[in-house]
Chain A
Amino acid sequence: MLATDLEQVEVWRALRAQLEDASAADRDALLAEKARLTRRSIITMISTAGQGHVGGDLSVTDILTTLYAYTLRIDPANPTLAGRDRFILSKGHCAGALYTTLAHSGYFEPAELNTFMAPLSSLNGHPNRNKVPGVETNTGPLGHGLPVAVGQAMAAKLSKNDARIFVVMGDGEMQEGSNWEALMTASQYKLDNLVAIVDRNRLQQGGRTEDTNALDPLDERLASFGCEVRVIDGHSYAELVEAFAPSTTGKPVAIIANTVKGKGVSFIEDRVEWHHKVPSAEQVLLALQELS
């Protein structure tokens, strides 16, 4: 298990304090800056490792940044704190984005990111809770995170704590039936402490979701499964912050976060081939320039 980086935790605490006092505009600017650094780190990591899922990492970055910097009630110095809010990255192939976010929050030393996928590294291509503090469950096979989150939401209810459980699925991932089984359970048990976020970048591994096995009308489908549905721009910090507010209906919250796969790097944006392509040295420079 990697060790907590207490210095980095202090950096995280300082940002959190700043965000709490900031005006909405300042808050968004602070989050944008944090997300920019995260995106740069993702590009570098993938280039060093020679592997990774850059498109989905960049589409989920603003969601992760807002959650960890602003929304989640967590203490990175105490990753197993009872009653903490929980986050599960069900689309585990985007481990690169999660690792960077966790490292920037102090769960472990950011220097560790250089070992991404290196022999015997704790930072495997998909997250492992037994090696990386802050990871709540092992993901990688799509369609696992939401049922586990439902169990955690249920446990919070049973133990009468007010923890909230956040989980991010890819949109292609929503083709897995297990997600819909889990939503039925969440709705049956009125798990209003559950927030199921769909990273709606409209691309999956081999094509556009709507050309493969269409998800729309996704909002109506989620609503008919018993969710309070919020449709937002998944790159707008203001909309993310608002959408992460507690349920108002007693139902589980489902957020359709409309995103751009590859967000932030022009030549990666909205291109199916960048699901897991690795940027060349030249492309890395271009990408870092765009993110400077």
Chain B
Amino acid sequence: MSIDTTAPAATTPSATNDPTAPTYDNRTAFADELIRLARTDERIVAVCNDSVGSSNLTAFRDEFPSRLINVGIAEQDMVGVGAGLASSGMIPFVCAAAPFLTGRSLEQVKADVAYSQHNVILCGMSPGMAYGELGPTHHSVEDLSWLRALPGLDIIVPADRLQTRQAVRAAVASPRPTFIRVGRHKVPDVTPEGTELVRGRFQQIRAGRDVTFIVTGTLVSRAIEAAAVLAESGIEARVLNASYIAPLDVEAIVAAARETSAIVTAEEANVAGGLGAAVASVVSQLEAGARVPLRILGLTEFAPTGSTDFLLNYFGLSSAHLVTAAREARAHA
């Protein structure tokens, strides 16, 4: 079995702040990369919960019918089955809508994946508020908080198509217990050409010394837009894409605290225990001079009814909100 971690080069336009840039559903890149790797690596199987369509696994099933295991609407069973497959040398991509994969099966993820260290690749499809009007039961905004508390589980939040492919490749190249948020809400390409996905590292998308945005997933393009607005008034914002939430890039956070005067975090997740909380736990333990002002943007309550875009705006996660937060944080410096 050969594992090719390099090909193919997805189109990788450079970071954009063009709001009219085309946007993509990351599930497409996910399924495409999975199928490509499965052709040469028979260890790869997919496990799902009546979600062949919503996990974008129809083409995978058609090409590898015996390697698509649909347990039906039974997520706890699904994660346990994934652990069994992993413990026997397979590379299971366990795919389900993120709220049910994490919420319903949390104990299986804890005991059977993280604690047992079975190399299951948990693929949280349509995370954050991608399910908009279907409401809080279908939003996955607690996943980052819940899963951060599990030692030995990597958490990857790809920000675009390229990073989605890279995350799938990384999982196959070196399987380990991993959760990947596979976005459905369409996002533009944000990763500059040639940027690798390195375990435990953020990517710097834009350099700056005045303020730092540490953002993840759908918020990355919004932070890039915010940085462009701030630049017009002479404020140079550093933009860090937190594509790995665990392991955490402590070094990059410390550098941001030392080199810029304030930090703003933003995530399509609840602020209780998510990316912002992770950043805060690093910054707050620095020496007095390095403890910069911090603004943590995210959800604080169950969402009302609304579309994904409506709700992102409702919870203060637009680029305009990021601009305001950056100015406020700097004012406190």
Q: Judge: A and B partners, yes or no.
A: yes
Residues of A within 8 A of B (CB): 49, 51, 92-93, 117-126, 128, 138-143, 172-173, 175-177, 204-207, 209, 212-213
17 contacts between A and B (CB under 8 A): A93-B134, A117-B305, A118-B305, A119-B304, A120-B304, A125-B131, A125-B133, A140-B134, A141-B99, A175-B71, A205-B51, A206-B50, A206-B51, A209-B72, A212-B50, A213-B72, A213-B74
Cβ–Cβ < 8 Å partners of B72 in chain A: 172, 175, 204, 209, 212-213
Cβ–Cβ < 8 Å partners of B305 in chain A: 117-125
Q: Nearest Cβ distance between residue B108 and chain A, in whole angstroms?
A: 11
For the complex, give the distance between the alpha carbons of A49 and B132 in Å.
13
For the complex, give the distance between the alpha carbons of A207 and B307 in Å.
27
12 extra A-B contacts, CB within 8 A, seeds A117-B305, A204-B73: A49-B133, A118-B305, A121-B305, A125-B134, A126-B138, A172-B50, A172-B72, A172-B73, A175-B72, A175-B74, A177-B76, A204-B50
A124 contacts which of B51, B74, B103, B133 (Cβ < 8 Å)?
B133
Cβ–Cβ < 8 Å partners of A205 in chain B: 50-51, 53-54, 73
Q: Nearest Cβ distance between residue B135 and chain A, in whole angstroms?
A: 4
Size class of B's contact patch? Answer: 20 to 34
A138-B137, A172-B72 given as contacts; is B307 within 8 A of A119 (CB)?
yes
Residues of B within 8 A of A (CB): 50-54, 70-74, 76-77, 99-100, 103-104, 131, 133-135, 137-138, 304-307, 310
Cβ–Cβ < 8 Å partners of B104 in chain A: 141, 143
Q: Nearest Cβ distance between residue B11 and chain A, in whole angstroms?
A: 31
Cβ–Cβ < 8 Å partners of B70 in chain A: 206, 212-213
A125-B305, A175-B72 given as contacts; is B54 within 8 A of A141 (CB)?
no
A119-B310, A120-B306, A205-B50 given as contacts; is B135 within 8 A of A176 (CB)?
no
Cβ–Cβ < 8 Å partners of B310 in chain A: 119
A119-B306, A121-B305, A175-B73 given as contacts; is B137 within 8 A of A140 (CB)?
yes
B135 contacts which of A140, A173, A209 (Cβ < 8 Å)?
A140
Cβ–Cβ < 8 Å partners of B74 in chain A: 175-177, 213
* Residues B137 and A126 in contact, CB atoms below 8 Å apart: yes
For the complex, give the distance between the alpha carbons of A163 and B70 in Å.
39
Question: Which among A123, A204, A205 has the highest number of chain B CB atoms within 10 Å?
Answer: A205
* Residues B73 and A173 in contact, CB atoms below 8 Å apart: yes
